[in-house]
C-alpha cells in the first residue's frame, strides 16, 4: 500500500476515533479531556515537505473543528505542532540518522528516550496552547495548570497504548519510496 493511502486512512481513522469515541466520553473531573487525533501529525514521515506538513496539520485541525464546532481552536494547535515538529526532530536526531534510517518517527526508529521526549514535548505544547486558547482568561492558575496536566497525562497514556496496540511495521527509507 502506498504511503499516501496509508496516511489518508490514518487521517480518517484518527478523526473518526476522536469525534465518535473520545469526544463522547464525559470529561473526568472537569480536567481530563482525552485527545489522540494529533498523533497523525507526529507519525508523518521524516521526509515530508514542510509546507505539506503545515497543510496536513491545518486540515486535521480544521476537520476536527468542523465536527466539534470550535472554529479554529484545533487548527491553530495542530498547525503549531506541525510547525515545531521538524525543529524538534532536528534536535533529537542527527541528520544522518534520519536520512539513512527509518521512514517515520517510531519507538523503533528513534529509540525509547528520544521518541518519548518527542511525544511528551509536542503533546504538552499542543495541550498548553489548546487550553490557553480555549480558556483565554487568567483567573485561576491552578485550574489552568490542572487541566493541562490532566489532559496531557491522559493523552500520553492513550498515545503509548496506541503505540503498543497498533504496531507499525518499521520501513526503512530505502524501502518506503
* Spans of all domains in the chain: 3-165
Find all residues with CB under 8 Å of 3, minimum gap 6, and list them: 45, 103, 176
Smallest CA-to-CA distance from 115 within 125, 123, 107, 124 is with 107
Alpha-carbon gap, residue 56 to 79, rounded angstroms: 8
pLDDT digits (tens, 9 = 90+) for 50-83: 999 999 999 999 999 999 999 999 999 999 999 9
Q: Give the torsion through C-alpha atoms of 167, 77, 111, 47, to 10 deg.
A: 90
pLDDT of residue 84: 97
Residue 98 grid coordinates = 534520519
Please check whether residue 89 is in contact with residue 109, taking contact to mean a CB–CB distance below 8 angstroms.
no
Q: What percent of the chain has pLDDT over 90?
A: 60
Q: Decide if pLDDT at 128 tops 90.
A: yes
Q: Decide if pLDDT at 143 tops 60.
A: yes
Residue 138 grid coordinates = 487568567
pLDDT digits (tens, 9 = 90+) for 4-55: 999 999 999 999 999 999 988 887 766 788 999 999 999 999 889 999 999 9
Alpha-carbon gap, residue 154 to 143, rounded angstroms: 16
Residue 39 grid coordinates = 498523533
| Average pLDDT score over the chain | 87
Which DSSP string do the residues of 139-170 spell out, in sequence order? S-HHHHHHHHHHHHHHHHHHHHHHHHHSPPPP
pLDDT of residue 50: 96
Q: What are phi and psi of 25, to 5 degrees?
A: -75, 125
Q: Is this model's pTM higher than 0.75 or not?
A: yes
Amino acid at each position: 500500500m502506498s504511503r499516501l493511502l496509508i496516511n489518508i486512512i490514518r487521517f480518517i481513522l484518527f478523526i473518526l476515533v476522536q469525534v465518535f469515541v473520545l469526544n463522547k466520553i464525559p470529561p473526568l473531573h472537569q480536567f481530563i479531556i482525552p485527545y489522540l487525533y494529533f498523533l497523525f501529525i507526529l507519525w508523518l514521515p521524516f521526509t515530508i515537505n514542510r509546507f505539506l506538513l503545515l497543510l496536513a496539520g491545518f486540515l486535521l485541525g480544521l476537520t476536527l473543528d468542523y465536527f466539534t464546532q470550535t472554529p479554529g481552536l484545533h487548527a491553530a494547535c495542530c498547525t503549531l505542532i506541525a510547525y515545531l515538529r521538524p525543529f524538534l526532530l532536528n534536535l533529537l536526531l542527527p541528520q544522518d540518522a534520519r536520512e539513512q534510517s527509518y521512514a517515520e518517527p517510531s519507538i523503533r526508529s528513534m529509540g525509547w528516550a528520544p521518541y518519548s521526549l518527542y511525544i511528551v514535548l509536542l503533546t504538552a505544547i499542543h495541550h498548553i496552547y489548546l487550553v490557553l486558547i480555549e480558556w483565554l482568561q487568567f483567573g485561576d492558575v491552578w485550574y489552568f495548570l490542572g487541566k493541562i496536566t490532566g489532559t496531557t497525562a491522559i493523552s500520553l497514556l492513550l498515545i503509548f497504548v496506541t503505540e503498543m496496540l497498533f504496531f507499525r511495521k518499521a520501513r526503512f527509507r530505502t524501502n518506503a519510496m
